[in-house]
Amino acid sequence: MASILDGKEVARITKEGLKGQVEDLKKEGIFPKLAVIMVGEDPSSKIYVSNKSKACEEVGIEYEEHLLKEDIEMKELLGLIDELNNRSDIHGILLQSPIPKNLDINEAFKSINPKKDVDGFNPINVGKLCLGQEDAFISCTPYGVIKILEQYNIETEGKHAVVIGRSNIVGKPMFQCLLNKDATVTICHRRTNNLEEITKTADILVVAIGKAKVVTADMVKEGATIIDVGINRNDEGKIEGDVDFVEVSKKAAYITPVPGGVGPMTIAMLMHNLVKAARESK
């Protein structure tokens, strides 16, 4: 039976460590502050934004929220980002996705000052991640996965890591993070042939598809480490991951639960990035 990779506990440890760093910054006259922009009324986004606000309060980070109407024009969104870029009291800017389809999210990410891009989506930070530069702000979910692996001393060097999913938010930066940790990495997606044959070779399998229980026990190597990034609601309204947890946990050595795995780490790493941005603003 697999050992549980408790992301909730790793997140707690991470945030506890950040509290002291925030106190030290405040003694130096730096008050770390996050600005969150949300466009529209997406219910899931509201929950995520609320969770980020609570995490800021826990760590001692100041928090500012900007709620924009769904029918705003791109120039209005860019104008707000520009204003926040120029405010010395704001250390991090987060644009909650998704945003309405009439707006260009990539243009918005590109307009966020790379030094305040605590979500790690500005092309400059993406490029720095690819180059392995330590001053990069790394996308929070992949960064959280790496921290879980480190906390549980799971070796990545020379291991075969397989990532299912190629999104800009998880799959692609996850590939790069694992590569930077000296893993041999394969990325799979909806056009991949013989998916099961590839996943069976994975020492570390990261699943970020967005479909419940897609990965089954027959797709997993005995003794593998399974990281489930998926968050899906079943017919009963319960949250479940992209991995068939019950069956796969009988075969894997380590596995993240859903909920309580990667999710809490995403927010913890946002806090980490914000504190880093505040420290580097000196």
Q: Report the alpha-carbon distance of residue 145 to residue 178 in Å, rounded.
A: 10
Residue type, 1: M
Q: Which residue in 15, 21, 33, 52 is the catalytic one?
A: 52
Q: Which residue in 15, 115, 116, 119 is the catalytic one?
A: 119
The alpha carbon dihedral of 89, 95, 101, 107 has a sign of positive
DSSP state of 280: H
For residue 96, indicate whether it is catalytic: yes
Pick from 282, 280, 277: which is nearest to 94 by CA? 277
Three-class secondary structure of residue 136 per DSSP: coil
Q: Which residue in 6, 96, 228, 242 is the catalytic one?
A: 96
For residue 52, indicate whether it is catalytic: yes
Q: What is the dihedral of CA 229, 233, 239, 242, to 10 degrees?
A: -30
**136: which 2 tokens?**
């990069």
Write down the H helix ranges in the chain.
7-27, 43-59, 74-85, 105-111, 123-131, 140-151, 171-180, 195-199, 245-248, 262-280
Classify each residue of 245-262 as buried b or exposed e, where b means 16 or more C-beta atoms within 10 Å of its C-beta: beebbebbbbbbbbebbb
Catalytic residues: 52, 96, 119
